[in-house]
């Protein structure tokens, strides 16, 4: 292959093609993500929204944040999931901070 300085590569066959053609023609890789049209994704959005709303309360009103994080757990309905785990983690941090402030 020979580059003539124009950004195109001349192949031995005489055809001209852009350097990125080979790259762009490769099949798209599957990263293990599955997309579905199910309504199951909506509860995750509700959980995520509740989590971030709770997190916003954390600094100004830690007790309200605790109650709000509890709602994340309630929305999960007893199933273990990412948002419930994150909510529990934040609840532990808040309780630790509240306990630390009480000691001093």
Establish if 26 belongs to a structural domain: no
Looking at residues 25-44, what average pLDDT do you find?
58
- pLDDT grade for 42, boundaries at 50, 70 and 90: confident
Establish if 98 belongs to a structural domain: yes
Contact 76, 47 (CB under 8 A): yes
Establish if 61 belongs to a structural domain: yes
pTM, entire model: 0.58
Contact 90, 58 (CB under 8 A): yes
Contact 90, 69 (CB under 8 A): yes
Establish if 63 belongs to a structural domain: yes
Give the C-alpha separation, 55 to 59, whole Å: 8
**Number of domains within the chain:** 1
Establish if 66 belongs to a structural domain: yes
Average pLDDT of the chain is 78
Closest CA to 101 of 54, 71, 63: 63
Residue numbers of the domain that contains 92: 41-103
């Amino acid at each position: 292959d020979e580059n003539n300085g124009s950004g195109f590569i001349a192949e031995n066959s005489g055809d001209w093609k852009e350097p990125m053609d080979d790259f762009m023609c490769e099949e798209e890789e599957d990263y293990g993500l599955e997309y579905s049209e199910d309504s199951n994704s909506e509860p995750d959005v509700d959980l995520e929204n509740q989590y971030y709303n709770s997190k916003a309360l954390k600094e100004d009103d830690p007790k309200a944040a605790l109650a709000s994080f509890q709602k994340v757990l309630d929305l999960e309905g007893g199933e273990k999931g990412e948002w419930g785990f994150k909510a529990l983690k934040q609840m532990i941090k808040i309780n630790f901070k509240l306990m630390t402030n009480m000691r001093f």
